[in-house]
Amino acid sequence: MATLAAAGNPQVRNAEVHRPPPTGPCALVIFGITGDLSRRLLLPALYNLARQQILSDNFAIVGFASSEIDEQALRDSLAADLRETAGPAADTSIIEWLVSRIHYVALNFLEDAGWQTLRQALSTVDNAYRTGGNYLFYLATAPQFFLAITTRLTAEGLMDDSGGRWRRVIIEKPFGHDLESARALNRALLTVVRDDQIYRIDHYLGKETVQNILVFRFANGIFEPIWNRRYIDHVQITVAEKAGVGRRGRYYDRTGALRDMVPNHLVQLLALTAMEPPGSFSANALQNEEVKVLESVQPIHPDECAACVVRGQYTGGVLGGVPVPGYREEPFVDPQSTTETFVALKFAVDNWRWAGVPFYLRTGKRLRERNSEIVIQFRNAPLALFRRSGASLPQPNSLVIGIQPQENILLEFEGKVPGPAIETATVDMHFDYRQYFGAENRTGYETLLYDAIIGDPSLFKRADMIEAGWAVVQPILDAWAMGRGGNLYEYQPGSDGPEAADDLIRRDGRSWSPLSL
């Protein structure tokens, strides 16, 4: 697992910040290079790697898409996007260096002519940039093309890694639509490529704060001893979005919040929070522990689904002073849709460390703020002393790990209010990545692309991890299909979700951490 160096800061103590070595020679083939993922995330991530001088000079990009745009026009368009993303600090020389290495195949990747042209383009970049026949294929396409493209890559000999070269394929989410489809896709892929050639990506794992969960837990002797049921009351994991579905209505109306976010992003955060210490930071050791904890999540029985799961759908209203449509008024959405845009869940991890500690998860669109965080709520201290003093009772301590838009860690604890009386107030210690390390804006894909090129799968998902994530939510999908999942609640844009989500946690004598930053 690579750790990309941030800008130096004199505040950084007891650590020497190292820049990782540059990647080796490589041609990156992006299927769907004209799409939103490439423009917003992949190219900016490659720009950041080049700016950090850890992208090899023997590097090139081959784009493959059916958009009728010529190669130079594509380069110009992507360069303009990069300048806009980087803002006033944009390094035009790096942008020009990067886009000059883009070659484009403007054909359908399901037709023979496109594959013949792709082979010619790869031969060209191998000779021009000495990429050594090392290919990283990135499937930035609709999921229905994952298997067809991978099968054709093998049929064309493009996954043949004999002779000391390497060939790998990155597959984006969604990986399947439910547990059975995920298993079927894994089985089918493994008939055409080896598992060590497949890099199943979850961009949340590229975020510094997510990776720092492991360091925070296992490198600090003051936290790991209390990271268990004896000291922790409950855990909250939130991934909230302020935006609606936008132009993604066709995809989202078939998917919904549960399928879109829980088996991947939220379950991954749960695994990193709850996993046992691995024997090392090797890929297998990390992934083994993640799978173990996911297999310990108790399935939600259909009879318990309405009590443990809340689903909601946003209505029309006003957000930030601007009128916004309801979900059913969004483009490409069925006007009678019952697809959920919000879901809150209560899980139990049935193992020695977490027995009796509930994990509350929630995610949704059109909420109050864009905010992703993990809240570790500790058990309250014995209150007898404060009852006898007549002082107000102290609040439980909490640890907040912010993931986006702010990458930070906040430890809240009680301190004495100045004055003669014994009064307490909640105070905090705050660590912010950008302030402390001088970190620049990142997309979350930098580390993942770097690791895929150097062949480090630590932050990617194995087949059993994907299936374990789907196994967590499959009983809920089954209950909903049987009509036993409770009501679909409406909620206003700019709220924290439906009131029923507050009831879910309030029944246990707890409350959600506020969404406002």
Active site residues: 265
Q: Which residues of 60-80 are buried (b: 16+ CB within 10 A; e: fewer)?
A: bbbbbbeeeeeeeebbeebbe
Q: Which residues of 384-416 are buried (b: 16+ CB within 10 A; e: fewer)?
A: eebeeeebeebebbbbbbbbbeebbbbebbbee
Q: Residue written as tokens 């083939």?
A: 29
The count of other CB atoms within 10 Å of the CB of residue 334 is: 12
Classified as helix, coil or strand, 500 is helix
- Tell me the β-bridge partners of 319: 322
Classified as helix, coil or strand, 346 is strand
Cα separation, 96 vs 172, in Å, equals 27
Q: Which residues of 97-126 are buried (b: 16+ CB within 10 A; e: fewer)?
A: ebbebbbbbbbebeeeebbebbeebbeebb
Beta strands, E only, 107-254: 135-139, 167-171, 198-200, 232-240
For β-strands 398-404 and 371-378, DSSP reports them as antiparallel
